[in-house]
């Protein structure tokens, strides 16, 4: 488990934040954040006062990465790119999350390495990571300024014969009383645009392999947009199915067999296939090494 308690001793009375800075080699801001997020304990109780003075034994909750051997497919001295398998979280959800991509990132490149952007747990494919905080800031700014382009592959239900430009605003759902979708198409939402290009139709399963090009970066954008044009992604357990089944999935009550029967697959058939950006006057366009089409064809043979 990546989050574990480690015991430290303060021989003399000292300010807690100074003790953390010295012993963990972190900044004052990071030390104070650890106190704010209740990661420092004494006598089995969290210390919440940032001005606290300590002496004696304290226990600190630290992230200790656990590797499963996943390595980046491309790297420079300042950043790297991982090909994330479906089913792996990008970040740990909480302190009990047993494994996430962050484990591999920190194991490979140290505690200052970080993940630049997110993809869903069930989405496979490329994730960009920084090896240091300076690079992290540069790359995150590039995302914020829409200087990073990404291309996805998706297996969408039904036949799509020509390209579709979807220009529908998306807003986060704040009312879960009737429906538990994370985002909704709504005129009061934020601008969201996606280009959908059909690549290959599979009549036996009535589904089309498409390339999805998000021009904006809203949460669940491709999923919500394809659902909106009546071509939900195969395997999507939230968008494009009856609410009662989405609720069962979110409550972890939908069996694998039922999910396959209802959605067409036991995983979301969405893949982050390429990423393009500029870094320090060098242009990069990196493609995933996962053969998504062969992957889902073989997968569907096994579940149908």
Per residue in 39-78, pLDDT tens? 999 988 999 888 889 999 999 988 888 899 999 999 999 9
**Taking phi first (over 0 means left), then psi (-120 to 50 degrees means alpha), and beta for anything else, what does residue 206 get?**
left
pLDDT band at 299 (very low <50, low <70, confident <90, very high): low
pLDDT band at 1 (very low <50, low <70, confident <90, very high): low
CATH class given for the domain over 151-271? alpha beta
Indicate if 151-271 has the same CATH topology as 3-63. no
Q: What is the pLDDT of residue 298?
A: 73
Q: What is the pLDDT of residue 94?
A: 82
Tokens of 132: 């240091």
Total number of residues shown for the chain? 304
**DSSP state, 90?**
S
Pick the catalytic residue: 120, 167, 251, 258?
120
304, pLDDT greater than 60: no
Judged by average pLDDT, the poorest of 83-92, 94-103, 277-286 is 94-103
173, pLDDT greater than 90: no
| Whole-number Å distance between alpha carbons of 119 and 140 | 15
How many Cα atoms are found within 13 Å in the side-chain-facing hemisphere of 74? 15
Q: What are phi and psi of 60, to 5 degrees?
A: -120, 130
Per residue in 122-155, pLDDT tens? 999 999 999 999 999 999 999 999 999 999 999 9
Tokens 């939230």, residue located:
238
Q: What is the pLDDT of residue 180?
A: 64
| Whole-number Å distance between alpha carbons of 47 and 40 | 6
Tokens 């606290």, residue located:
52
| Whole-number Å distance between alpha carbons of 301 and 210 | 19
- Domains of the chain by residue range: 3-63, 74-147+287-301, 151-271
**Is 206 an active-site residue?**
no
Architecture per CATH, domain 74-147+287-301, reads as 2-Layer Sandwich (3.30)
Closest CA to 120 of 79, 153, 91, 143: 91
The CATH number, out of the four listed (1.10.3660.10, 3.10.440.10, 3.10.290.10, 1.10.1060.10), of the domain defined by the range 3-63: 3.10.290.10
pTM: 0.86
121, pLDDT greater than 80: yes
């Amino acid at each position: 488990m990546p989050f574990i308690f480690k015991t430290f001793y303060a021989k003399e009375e000292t300010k807690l934040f100074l003790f953390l800075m010295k012993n963990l080699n972190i900044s004052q801001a990071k030390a104070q954040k650890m106190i704010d997020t209740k990661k420092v304990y004494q006598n089995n109780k969290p210390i919440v006062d940032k001005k606290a003075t300590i002496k004696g034994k304290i226990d600190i909750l630290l992230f200790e990465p656990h590797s499963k051997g996943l390595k980046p497919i491309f790297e420079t001295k300042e950043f790297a790119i991982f090909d994330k398998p479906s089913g792996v979280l990008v970040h740990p959800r909480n302190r009990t999350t047993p494994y996430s991509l962050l484990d591999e990132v920190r194991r490979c490149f140290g505690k200052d390495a970080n993940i630049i952007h997110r993809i869903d747990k069930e989405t496979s494919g490329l994730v960009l990571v920084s090896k240091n905080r300076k690079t992290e800031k540069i790359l995150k700014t590039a995302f914020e300024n829409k200087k990073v382009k990404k291309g996805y592959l998706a297996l969408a239900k039904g036949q799509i014969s020509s390209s579709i430009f979807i220009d529908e605003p998306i807003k986060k759902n704040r009312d879960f009383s009737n429906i538990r979708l994370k985002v909704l198409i709504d005129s009061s939402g934020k601008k969201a645009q996606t280009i959908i290009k059909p690549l290959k139709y599979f009549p036996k399963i009535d589904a089309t392999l498409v390339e999805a090009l998000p021009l904006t970066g809203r949460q669940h954008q491709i999923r919500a947009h394809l659902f909106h044009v009546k071509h939900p992604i195969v395997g999507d357990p939230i968008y494009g199915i009856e609410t009662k089944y989405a609720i069962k999935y979110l409550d972890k009550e939908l069996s694998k067999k039922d999910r396959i029967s209802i959605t067409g697959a036991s995983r979301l058939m969405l893949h982050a296939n390429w990423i393009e950006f500029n870094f320090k006057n060098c242009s990069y366009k990196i493609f995933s090494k996962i053969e998504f089409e062969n992957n889902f064809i073989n997968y569907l043979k096994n579940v149908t």
